[in-house]
Amino acid sequence: MAAINQWTAPKSWIGGEVAKAAKLNEQLRDNLTWLKSRPFVAGATGAVTTTSATFVTMTNSTVNLTTTGGYILFWATGYYFNSAGGLGTFDLAIDGLRQGHATFGTTLLQGLLANYNDNLNIMMITGGGAGGSLLAAGAHTCSLQWYVNSGTGNVDLKIFAMELC
CATH number, domain containing residue 89: 2.60.120.760
Largest CA distance in the chain: 68
pLDDT tens digit sequence for 35-80: 777 788 888 999 999 999 999 999 999 999 998 888 888 999 999 9
Q: How confident is residue 1, by pLDDT bands cut at 50, 70 and 90?
A: very low
65 and 39 Cβ atoms separated by less than 8 Å: yes
**Is the pLDDT confidence value at 93 over 90?**
yes
Q: What are phi and psi of 64, to 5 degrees?
A: -110, 135
3 in any annotated domain: no
117 in any annotated domain: yes
**Is the pLDDT confidence value at 153 over 70?**
yes
**pLDDT at 131 (0 to 100):** 65
22 in any annotated domain: no
**Is the pLDDT confidence value at 99 over 80?**
yes
Domain count, the chain: 1
Q: How confident is residue 10, by pLDDT bands cut at 50, 70 and 90?
A: confident
- Average pLDDT of every residue of the chain: 88
25 in any annotated domain: no
- Residue burial 14-45, b: 16+ Cβ < 10 Å; e: rest: eeeeeeeeeeeeebeebbeebeeeebeeebeb
pLDDT tens digit sequence for 81-90: 999 989 999 9
Sign of the CA dihedral 74, 79, 84, 85? positive
15 in any annotated domain: no
14 in any annotated domain: no
Strand locations in the chain (E)? 40-50, 56-57, 63-67, 72-82, 87-94, 97-98, 107-110, 118-126, 138-148, 153-163
Give me the domain span that covers residue 138. 40-163
**pLDDT at 159 (0 to 100):** 94
C-alpha 142/C-alpha 140 separation (Å) is 7
Q: 0.85 exceeded by the pTM?
A: no
